[in-house]
With several copies, the nearest count.
Chain A
């Protein structure tokens, strides 16, 4: 049985279901009792203030608190309101969180889920609009997830909460706040990490996009179809681990790769995919890999400039054509 849920609801249900299932799961963050964007709204009613904990404004420390709780039997779901604020917690996330299991020789796992909102388009300027997923590529030991549909958001967040590895879970504001809806099973389900989905099959060019950019890529596909260009759109869903098999099976077919991300280009996931492409998969390539991403500039507050800054359907269309 399927039902229609919004992206926001999907996140909310995933947390609620896991809190019901496992009493060691709890939610903490700044204003999570109300929910600045609404993902955690209502949880306090069902689970009480003890399991839905408002914290002071101190991102590095609350990340550490979640980590400490996880070392001692808790399974915290931490909300860092904007991904921009994960930069405050980079010491915890990059130096410790993903490394703790290893340096303690597997004595201590740190099963926490960090949920954080990414994305521009709301005229919030430089420090509330970034997509910083790729800032975490260099860190070992983390799982990085970014869903594009309510179905995936729910299934992947449930997997994240159950995971014994630390997960950073990115939620695009346009999906949370935009009222995006979709089908999801009534029944309990989870989605494993590392399995991409082909959102649209196609034979000419492989386009890999995640999060909100999946929709821009699908729009590009429609537009390109009118010129008889048939692209395949792949949504990796998890950034780490990355489903190389699905991506490069597609490239084997098309010989062409366009990577799409809303984050900045230098050292981004697109760079990593391009590097994989021209490394192990070099023989598959028939054309230069095209990277679509934001330029290496801060996000300006001006609506006009913000729109110019963002990758979108049009830049994807142009990139696809460059590969042909």
Chain B
């Protein structure tokens, strides 16, 4: 499963960008400059970027709380993310959503606060795509912990029953908050549940960007061709803690060590170098450019305009008078 050089390089750059955004977020938190809760996706970048990569602009993506990978992958910019993160009036959600990233330009309808509530939204967007006979696909990206949420079940059932163009992309990062997956799961894998709905599935390595991209691409084309939903489970590891307040003692150091050796960015970098696509020098440039992009996004966001009391009462209804 190999990708074209330019494609692979672009995915690599996006992974770097994701990590830079998240590291910068961590730094700002540590310096006490922001209060914004974090859930980083360190080590999972190949899943997030690989999953969003094959989507077209008109395709719909529902992402997760963990980092910005899939949002960057789908086309959101560092600048848009930071304006919203800092709650600015010029943010995509006018500072009202903050962590709940949403970008209509690239068909990201928003991020719910209750895990799994959007399982059914993905079925709904796919349903309307089918009804209006477009070939738009919806990709629902989700953590394994969230797959235990009740609505996962009727949502998958309806997707299969109505043969809807939706791909369920499950990021199994071994953790659900402060516990290993085995405190949540009676089985090793999540994906086998798809069989209960007659839905095809794959279980793949989540560290190798070419694998995640190619397998997702296949699933998306399956859905686009009217063959109904598909589920892919990506095995990865959450190298970050759950969030900024996580004590973290429960994480086994041997796991960190083992998975650390298969960092998706390192793996991709090595591939690019092995294939002669990337030199050490070009890599440094790339990394610097990415960091500059993030820094200037953060700077611009900090100096962006805050919303005012009038904004508090805007956008509740189509017409303001209703409140």
Contact = CB atoms under 8 A, between A and B. Distances in A.
A and B touch in the complex (CB under 8 A): yes
Given A34-B178, A308-B312, A123 B247 contact: no
B316 A57 contact: no
A26 B315 CA distance: 25
A34 B93 CA distance: 34
User: Sorted from nearest, which 8 A-B pairs have the closest CB atoms?
Assistant: A68-B124, A127-B113, A64-B120, A301-B98, A302-B87, A58-B154, A105-B93, A68-B121
A296 B312 CA distance: 10
Contacts of A279: none
Contacts of A70: 124, 128
Given A85-B114, A126-B113, A305-B95, A73 B132 contact: yes
B136 to A, nearest CB: 8
Contact of A65 (B99, B104, B148, B158): B158
Interface in A299-324: 300-305, 308-309
A108 B124 contact: no
Interface in A170-205: 193-194
Which of A100, A140, A143 has the most chain B CB within a 10 Å cutoff?
Answer: A100
B60 interface: yes
Given A57-B145, A84-B114, A102-B315, A68 B120 contact: yes
30 contacts: A34-B179, A56-B148, A56-B154, A58-B158, A60-B117, A61-B154, A62-B154, A65-B120, A65-B155, A66-B124, A68-B118, A69-B125, A71-B121, A72-B109, A101-B315, A104-B92, A107-B110, A109-B318, A125-B97, A125-B98, A126-B96, A126-B97, A141-B317, A143-B317, A194-B322, A296-B323, A297-B316, A300-B96, A304-B308, A305-B96
Nearest to A35: B178
Interface stretch (A87-95, A212-220, A248-256, A268-276): A87-95
Contacts of A100: 110
B312 to A, nearest CB: 5
Contacts of B316: 101-102, 140-141, 296-298
Interface in A15-63: 24, 26, 30-31, 33-34, 36, 50-51, 54-58, 60-63
A57 B322 CA distance: 33
B123 A68 contact: yes
Interface in B147-191: 148-151, 153-155, 157-158, 161, 176-179, 183-184
A92 B149 CA distance: 14
B92 A105 contact: yes
Interface string A236-257: 0000110000000000000000
Contacts of A127: 100, 112-114
B88 interface: yes
Which of A31, A58, A95, A297 has the most chain B CB within a 10 Å cutoff?
Answer: A58
A74 interface: yes
A96 B119 CA distance: 13
A251 B154 CA distance: 49
Interface in B84-116: 87-88, 91-100, 102-104, 109-110, 112-116
B1 interface: no
A33 B250 CA distance: 11
